[in-house]
Amino acid sequence: MMPDMPRPRPPYLHRETTRHGRVVWYVRIAGRRTRLRAPYGSPEFAAEYQAAINGREIAKAPRSDTASLAWLIARYRDSSAWGSLSMATRRQRENIFKHVIDRDGDQPFAAVTRKALIDARERHKDTPAQANNLIKAMRGLFGWALESEMIAVDPTRDVTMIKTRTTGFHAWTEEELSRFEARWTIGARERLAFDLLLYTGLRRGDAVKLGRQHVRDGVFRIKTEKTGVEIVAPILPALAASIAASPTGDLAFVAGERGKPMTKESFGNWFREACTAAKCPGSAHGLRKAGATRAANNGATVAQLGAIFGWTGAKMASLYTQGADRARLARDAMKMLSGTGSEQSIVAPKAKVRTPRLKAP
């Protein structure tokens, strides 16, 4: 909490969000705007606020090895490197940096060592994904600092991630897909959400934005939130039928009960409840995996999967095509094991016992 600053917000202090998603603070008095650059809640922020209120010039933050970690993070947020990140990544890292600042924000950033980062990772070893996201965030921060010549050595270099043995979100099975469709029939908002996720392959953050404004001549076009890749694909007949039969919003096909667009968080919680009601263990992202599995099993190539799901590299698409290829190869191999070229049992049949004919004496 910002010292010596009462609640509610002090007079003349205004909060704004830049086009890059960065929160900035200004003191505005009689048309004059003064930017406050110290991290919100810090003693330096309080000092800058008092200086602006009294009409004094705010001293620039020192650029030296003794600058704080909070100061470095604030500079990173003003950089083009930060602006190039997706909104979803920025939101995730904002939350991480908030905890970093609360814990160590007043420490010199030059004092951050490889061992300190490893110690921080180990504090979160029971939640590997959280630990790895912390390392990714700090790697982005110090990678930018190295490029900007604020540090001579990147402390995140050679800091490894925690290896996890997980396949990620559960991919819906065909039986689970049928169970959901039986519980939520065409015309229900829950079914529309299901069809939208399954037949577009969009992530929930993009699915909640898709609306009629994105569709022309039966083809939708939308830039993805996570990677910035533009997806261009047809509205499949099953989805078109679901849209026609369901209540939709003005700006998004899947809207809240009052017709307003939903956030991806509220959509995720609402859709999870629909899954529970259908006795399905799936999730929104699991439907995306089910769609990728279906497409790969039907012969989609790596390039085709990348176009459908917005993957910028071949790694993710290869996971699905390799799985489909293995299944096809196994079926073909079974024919070879039988030795006949047809799918027969690999257990050799019992030899027929011939009864000898005895000649009459």
21/16 Cα distance (integer angstroms): 9
Task: Give the separation between CA 166 and CA 153, rounded to whole angstroms.
Answer: 33
> Are 61 and 73 contacting, i.e. CB atoms less than 8 angstroms apart?
no
Report whether pLDDT(174) > 80.
yes
pLDDT band, very low/low/confident/very high, at 8 (cuts 50, 70, 90): low
For the stretch 89-100, pLDDT in tens is: 888 899 999 999
Residue range 54-94, pLDDT digits in tens: 888 776 654 444 588 999 999 999 999 998 888 878 888 99
Alpha-carbon gap, residue 15 to 225, rounded angstroms: 24
The alpha carbon of residue 227 and the mean position of all alpha carbons in its chain are separated, in whole angstroms, by 9
Confidence at residue 227, expressed as pLDDT on a 0 to 100 scale: 75
Q: What is the mean pLDDT of residues 219-236?
A: 84
152 CA to centre of own chain: 32
Q: Residues of the chain with pLDDT > 90: what percent?
A: 25
The reported pLDDT for the residue numbered 358 is 46
Give yes or no for a contact between 3 and 46, defined as CB atoms under 8 angstroms apart: yes
| Helix/strand/coil (H/E/C) assignment for every residue in 131-173 | HHHHHHHHHHHHHHHHHCCCCCCCCCCCCCCCCCCCCCCCCCC
Amino acid (1-letter code) at residue 314: A
Quick one: tokens of 198?
Answer: 């399954």
For residue 14, what are the β-bridge partners? 26
As a CATH number, domain 174-285 is 1.10.443.10
pLDDT (mean) for 322-343: 53
Q: How far apart are CA 8 and CA 141, in angstroms?
A: 32
What is this structure's pTM?
0.53
Q: What percent of the chain stands above pLDDT 70?
A: 76
